[in-house]
Amino acid sequence: MIATSSAAVPDLRIACAPERGAETVNLLLRVLALATVLLGSGCASLSHAERDRAEAIAVQARSAVVDCQRADRCAQDSPLRALAGRAFTESTPERPRHYATLLDEGEGALVARLNLLRSATRSIDLQTYIFDKDDSARLVIDELLAASRRGVKVRELIDQLSAITDLQILGALSG
């Protein structure tokens, strides 16, 4: 027993096992602590060199030039955007109007997303968990950058654990 100022507290290292078992428990606790530290270090952010490189790429990719001076930001027509506008104008607080379009095929869903990105006039807020470095991601990135160059405010929220790790792409997106 170890005495403290207010009460006696049992020494758990010795109380939980005989002498030889206590050594094993202590070793296991140390290994567990080391594993926790090592696994926690995997959650660390970019190194200073990687962060500096990403920042340089972002600065280089950033452009203050807006390609479009029209009020609609040179947005393309979109049947899905028109449907949303129709629902908005037909809705009242008492009788909201809703429409649904089922997109159960990957290609159709991608085309719809690209069409909506091209039709944006003010802002785009993209939130995604899975964003791989593939052709569909490249198409979405290209449309996000094009929308930004048209003067549309673009914001992305991409999960870090399942996101693009290419600093060139991340830098371009942050620009």
Report pLDDT for 152.
Answer: 93
Q: Between the CA of residue 162 and those of 148, 159, 169, what are the distances in Å?
A: 24, 6, 14
Residue identified by tokens 């930001």 is 73
The answer to whether residues 16 and 22 touch, using CB atoms and an 8 Å cutoff, is yes
CB-CB contact of 2 with 8 (8 Å): yes
Q: Which residues of 118-128 are buried (b: 16+ CB within 10 A; e: fewer)?
A: bbbbeebeeee
Q: In the prediction, which pLDDT does 113 show? A: 93
Phi, psi (degrees; rounded to nearest 5) at 156:
-125, 145
pTM for this model (two decimals): 0.59
How does pLDDT run across 15-40, given as a tens digit for each residue? Answer: 544 556 677 777 777 777 776 666 66
Mean pLDDT of the chain: 77
CA separation for the pair 141, 148 (Å, rounded): 11
Counts for the chain of helices (H) and strands (E), in that order:
7, 4
